[in-house]
C-alpha cells in the first residue's frame, strides 16, 4: 500500500498532516483501485505520549466514501 504524508509542525507540541494512500488489486477477475486522501493532527500531551486524529475521503467508486480514526501513541 503506497502512501505519501506531509507532516508539518505548527508549534512545539502540535502538528498537522496531509496524506494520500491507496491499494491496487492487479491480476484478479475483479480489479479494484482504492486511493484515499485525508488530513489529520497530532498533539504531544507530554513527552512520550501523543494524541492523534485523522479523516479522509475515497477518490474512486471502489474506495470507501469516508474514514476517520482517533488514537494515541506511547514511547517507552
For 29, the 3-state DSSP assignment is coil
For residue 63, the Cα-to-chain-centroid distance in whole angstroms is 14
Residue with cell 517507552: 76
Q: What is the pLDDT of residues 19-53, one digit of tens each?
A: 999 988 877 777 788 999 999 999 999 999 999 99
| Dihedral over alpha carbons 43, 44, 45, 48 (to 10 degrees) | 150
Phi-psi map region of 6: left, alpha, beta (phi>0 left; psi -120 to 50 alpha): beta
- Using a pLDDT cut of 70, give the percent of the chain over it: 100
Distances from the Cα of 30 to the Cαs of 10, 27, 43, in angstroms?
Answer: 43, 8, 41
Strand partners, 2: none
Domains of the chain: 3-74 (2.20.200)
Query: What pLDDT score was predicted for residue 64?
Result: 87
Amino acid at each position: 500500500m503506497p502512501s505519501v504524508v506531509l507532516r508539518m509542525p505548527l508549534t512545539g507540541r502540535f502538528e498537522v498532516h496531509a496524506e494520500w494512500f491507496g491499494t491496487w488489486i492487479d491480476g484478479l477477475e475483479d480489479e479494484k483501485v482504492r486511493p484515499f486522501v485525508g488530513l489529520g493532527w497530532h498533539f504531544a500531551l507530554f513527552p512520550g505520549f501523543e494524541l492523534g486524529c485523522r479523516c479522509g475521503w475515497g477518490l474512486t467508486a471502489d474506495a470507501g466514501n469516508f474514514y476517520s480514526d482517533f488514537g494515541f501513541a506511547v514511547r517507552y
